[in-house]
Amino acid sequence: MLKALSFIGYMAMLGGLIGLLITRSLLSPYPFVIAPQVVAVALMIWARVTFGRRSFHLAANPTAGGLVTTGPYRFIRHPIYTAVCLLVSAGAAAHLSWSTFLLCALVWGGAIARMFCEERLVLRRFPEYRQYAATTSRMIPFVF
């Protein structure tokens, strides 16, 4: 059930992202959009490099190799989802409308759903995740 919900979350994220691209609401020439989006891409690359050669799964599926707690994972448990949410939020902020708000909310909702599914699955595979989760935030240090 968790894997199915995770897949639905992924599809929601993808749908929101594609919707923002189609409506030309993801990118903007304004520095207040470009700066956080550059930070988001850098965070995503840093997280992916830290995560290593592990494969990506459409549905949450903890992989072998142990728990990753270095790089950006030292500070937040879900840096890639954080990066995606930052990327779309900056774009949506530059193109405020009900449709961009809803598409951005779709990405956020999908990311949050995936986070909760993944955390439960990772905890089953790696019991030490409980201690790690107690010392790190999901997305925003000291907030969430």
Confidence of residue 53 (pLDDT cuts 50, 70, 90): confident
pTM of this prediction? 0.90
Tell me the backbone φ, ψ of residue 76, rounded to 5 degrees.
-135, 145
Average pLDDT over residues 69-76: 93
Query: pLDDT at position 58, please?
Result: 62
Judged against a pLDDT cut of 70, whether residue 139 lies above it is answered with yes
Q: How confident is the model at residue 56 (pLDDT cuts 50, 70, 90)?
A: low
31: which 2 tokens? 């520095």
